[in-house]
Amino acid sequence: MPVTVLLVDDEPLVRAGLRAVLEAQPDIEVVGEAADGAAVIPLVRRLRPDVVAMDVRMPLLDGIEATRALLRTVDAPPKILVVTTFENDEYVYGALRAGADGFLLKRARPAEIVHAVRLVAEGESLLFPASVRRLAAEYGEEGGNRAARAVLERARLTEREGEVLRLMARGLTNAEIAARLVVGTETVKSHVSAVLAKLGARDRTQAVIAAYESGFVAPG
């Protein structure tokens, strides 16, 4: 049985492109399209797709709200793949926080798009696509922490949030981080929440994974 996909994007051109790429696969079937977030829920109820490829910026109901509504009102909801133009879109992080399973850049190569759909359909999350992982490599070994800085910028982490993430990635608890930074635990909690939101992580474990996968911290 093929993977069924519902396309949600306000630009017909993008929908057509995604459809062309996905329909070229024998095991992927596009079962419907929607032009805005408001139309998604009834369509999902009727078509029951495995995956919804959802734009973030849309009229009426944006991708974040649509994702939230979908997960709240539909039982056995489909996997949600957030489609965006910018790697740096805060809306993406909002959508991931709302429960989306991964994100996908519009300028990704067809093979990557297909791969992303298959992955989320299998239940994998795709928070840190290859493009992000390659950062460290791009900057080279001798870049020192230039790659880390780049990731910082992409995720728009503040300096303090970066410090907190680094300590999280050393296995410290909030209380220990607070002691280390000589601030209150509530302050650390604020920073941690900000880091989770910006990285699209659900908990500190996923944030640490993100730190390793992005090259923000390196093993050894």
Task: Based on the shown chain and the rule CB under 8 A, indicate whether residue 206 belongs to the binding site for a copy of itself.
Answer: yes
User: Which of residues 61 and 168 has its CB atom nearest to a copy of itself in the complex?
Assistant: 168
Q: Between the CA of residue 24 and those of 29, 45, 110, 114, 147, what are the distances in Å?
A: 9, 26, 10, 9, 36
Calpha distance 104→53 (Å, rounded): 9
Query: What are the backbone angles phi and psi of residue 126, rounded to the nearest 5°?
Result: -135, 65
Among 170, 175, 184, 193, binds a copy of itself (CB under 8 A): 170
Task: Output the furthest CA–CA distance in the chain (Å, rounded).
Answer: 57
Contacts (CB under 7 A) with DNA, residues 196-215: 196-197, 202-205
Closest to DNA by CB, 142 vs 203, is: 203
Pick from 141, 159, 171, 182: which binds a copy of itself (CB under 8 A)? 171
Among 191, 199, 215, 216, binds DNA (CB under 7 A): 191
**Residues 116 to 135: which contact a copy of itself by CB under 8 A?**
123-125, 127, 130, 133-134
Region of residue 81 (left: phi > 0; alpha: psi -120 to 50; beta: else): beta
123 binding DNA? (CB under 7 A): no
Radius of gyration of the chain (CA): 18
81 membership: H or E segment, kind and range = strand 79-84
Using rule CB under 8 A, residue 169 touches a copy of itself: yes
Binding residues for DNA restricted to 71-100, rule: CB under 7 A: 97
Q: Which long-range contacts (CB under 8 A, 24 or more apart) does 36-42 make?
A: 36/8, 36/10, 36/60, 36/61, 37/8, 37/61, 37/62, 37/63, 37/65, 37/66, 37/69, 38/66, 39/8, 40/6, 40/8, 40/66, 40/69, 40/70, 41/66, 41/69, 41/70, 41/73, 41/74
The reply to whether 153 sits near DNA by the rule CB under 7 A is no
**Does 33 contact a copy of itself by CB under 8 A?**
no
The nearest distance, CB 68 to DNA, in angstroms, is 9
Among 13, 75, 186, 220, binds DNA (CB under 7 A): 186
Q: Is 161 in the site for DNA (CB under 7 A)?
A: yes
- Residues lying near a copy of itself in the complex (CB under 8 A) are found at 123-125, 127, 130, 133-134, 137, 168-171, 173, 180, 201-206, 208-209, 212-213, 215, 218-220
- Residues lying near DNA in the complex (CB under 7 A) are found at 97, 156, 158-161, 173-175, 178, 181, 183-184, 186-187, 189-193, 196-197, 202-205
